[in-house]
Amino acid sequence: MHRPDQGNRALRQPAGSVASVIDLHLHSVFSDGSETPERICELAAEAGLSGIALTDHDGTGGIERARVRAGELGLRLVPGCEVSCQTEQGSLHMLCYFNAVDDSFAAELDRLAADRSARNEQMATKMMELGLPITYEEVIEEAGGKGVGRPHFAAVLVRNGAADSIQDAFDRYLGRGAPGYVNKARLAPAQALELAAGSGAAGVLAHPLSLGLERSDLEQLVAELAEDGLFGLESYYGRYDPETRAELAALARRHGLTPTGGSDFHGAYKPDLAVGTGTGDLEVPDELLDELVARLGTPAARGA
Ligand code: AMP
Ligand code: ZN
Ligand code: FE
Ligand code: FE
């Protein structure tokens, strides 16, 4: 996709003018972001961040490259990924942060990736049957061959004139329940948390309002996930307003969880979100990174 200037608004904020901030939710070209792991590290450094986590969907392919560039830039890096889960109330995303993943976690990510590929092919077929101007080859090319996701379909539809914007493509064809949509494999949240625990990883409920639950139902779900070993709740989210962030942070603490945060940067695929600052005013305090890192173990610690 055409890559506009990322417009990283945080550049306008002199580094060091506020307490150090971090961004624990970032997508690269290894899933459905438009920027390389290296470029993300550079944007983070330019924005004056002290630490980041790379959290591509259902995969860890970009981590080593990010680790190298983060090291060169003096940026703390926590490896991560964002795992799609299914509950009775709807789908949710679980951010998993780790030092390394063990074999069973890696095998499950591979299985999810294989299912994603099969589902993507089905989606392309469905769209061609709908008469939309799209081929699977174009979608794969758009994605650079790896981590194909719905935003890549959206970009092709926009380029070929079938939608006005990425969001329009989702609204018309790609969103859940829309005519081009095909579901993909998802884990139960408890399963994701168990896998995470096996690698000494920490699980964080991503963008908790995406479930569309009433606050009392969200509180109940968070209580259940906390029982299952959830570490944190993504409270400081790129698209939430300051009141919502504070409310979610309080919800997290009520259940003994750490309120984490990040922009959910996808580069050109979500052009309103910048590394570090989200829609403009995000500031995730870096003490949370210490809390997170203190929790992380290693796969070898399994059963210890
Ligand atoms: P996939 O993993 O292929 O199902 O695609 C997930 C990606 O699509 C994530 O980046 C989501 O933020 C994005 N996405 C899902 N639903 C929507 C929607 N209704 N509007 C815009 N983006 C969406
Ligand atoms: Zn995404
Ligand atoms: Fe997500
Ligand atoms: Fe995300």
**For all residues of the chain together, what is the average pLDDT?**
93
Quickly tell me which residue has 């509950």 as its tokens. Answer: 87
Q: 298 with 198, same domain?
A: yes
Q: What band does 18 get if pLDDT is binned at 50, 70 and 90?
A: low
Q: 26 with 143, same domain?
A: no
Q: What are phi and psi of 265, to 5 degrees?
A: -55, 130
Question: Does some domain include residue 14?
Answer: no
pLDDT at 9 > cutoff 90:
no
pLDDT digits (tens, 9 = 90+) for 112-131: 999 999 999 999 999 999 99
What separation in Å is there between the alpha carbon of 170 and the centre of ligand 1? Answer: 8
What the block records as the tokens of 150 is: 């719905």
pLDDT digits (tens, 9 = 90+) for 272-304: 999 999 999 999 999 999 999 999 999 865 544
Q: Which of 31, 91, 109, 150 to mutate to test ligand 1, by most ligand atoms within 8 A of the CB atom?
A: 150
Contact 92, 188 (CB under 8 A): no
What separation in Å is there between the alpha carbon of 92 and the centre of ligand 3? Answer: 8
- d(CA 33, CA 24) in angstroms, rounded, equals 15
Q: 139 with 263, same domain?
A: no
Q: 68 with 143, same domain?
A: no
Q: 152 with 216, same domain?
A: no
What separation in Å is there between the alpha carbon of 28 and the centre of ligand 2? Answer: 9
pLDDT digits (tens, 9 = 90+) for 80-99: 999 999 998 889 999 999 99
Global pTM reads 0.92
Task: Find the helix or strand (DSSP H, E) in which 215 lies.
Answer: helix 215-227
Q: For position 301, what pLDDT does the model report?
A: 53
Q: 267 with 130, same domain?
A: no
- Which residues are CB-neighbours of 12 under 8 A, at least 6 positions away? none
What total number of domains does the chain contain? Answer: 2
Ligand nearest to the CA of 31: 2
Q: 298 with 213, same domain?
A: yes
For ligand 1, which residues put their CB under 6 angstroms from it?
32, 57, 149-151, 167, 170, 175, 184, 266
Closest ligand 1 atom to residue 119 Cα is 3
- d(CA 251, CA 126) in angstroms, rounded, equals 41
Ligand nearest to the CA of 206: 3
Closest ligand 1 atom to residue 148 Cα is 3
Closest ligand 1 atom to residue 266 Cα is 10
Q: What are phi and psi of 11, to 5 degrees?
A: -60, -30
- d(CA 12, CA 256) in angstroms, rounded, equals 36
Ligand nearest to the CA of 172: 1
Q: For position 8, what pLDDT does the model report?
A: 44
For residue 255, give its domain range. 19-100+189-302
Question: Does some domain include residue 63?
Answer: yes
What separation in Å is there between the alpha carbon of 46 and the centre of ligand 1? Answer: 27
pLDDT at 75 > cutoff 90:
yes
Which residue's alpha carbon is nearest to atom 15 within ligand 1? 175
Closest ligand 1 atom to residue 58 Cα is 2
- Tell which of 174, 200, 226 closes a domain: 174
Q: For position 94, what pLDDT does the model report?
A: 98
Please state whether 49 falls in left (phi above 0), alpha (psi between -120 and 50) or beta.
beta
Q: 193 with 80, same domain?
A: yes
What separation in Å is there between the alpha carbon of 150 and the centre of ligand 1? Answer: 6
Residue type, 112: L
- Tell which of 174, 203, 221 closes a domain: 174
Q: 200 with 229, same domain?
A: yes
Question: Does some domain include residue 4?
Answer: no
- d(CA 266, CA 67) in angstroms, rounded, equals 19
Q: 51 with 146, same domain?
A: no
Q: What is the CATH number of the domain that holds 244?
A: 3.20.20.140
Ligand nearest to the CA of 210: 3
Q: What is the CATH number of the domain that holds 134?
A: 1.10.150.650
Question: Does some domain include residue 10?
Answer: no
What separation in Å is there between the alpha carbon of 153 and the centre of ligand 1? Answer: 10
Question: Does some domain include residue 37?
Answer: yes
Residue type, 40: I
What separation in Å is there between the alpha carbon of 303 and the centre of ligand 3? Answer: 30
pLDDT digits (tens, 9 = 90+) for 192-214: 999 999 999 999 999 999 999 99
Q: For position 284, what pLDDT does the model report?
A: 97
Closest ligand 1 atom to residue 153 Cα is 3
Q: What band does 11 get if pLDDT is binned at 50, 70 and 90?
A: very low
Q: What band does 264 get if pLDDT is binned at 50, 70 and 90?
A: very high
What separation in Å is there between the alpha carbon of 205 and the centre of ligand 3? Answer: 9
Which residue's alpha carbon is nearest to atom 16 within ligand 1? 175
Ligand nearest to the CA of 53: 4
pLDDT digits (tens, 9 = 90+) for 127-179: 999 999 999 999 999 999 889 999 999 999 999 999 999 999 999 999 999 99
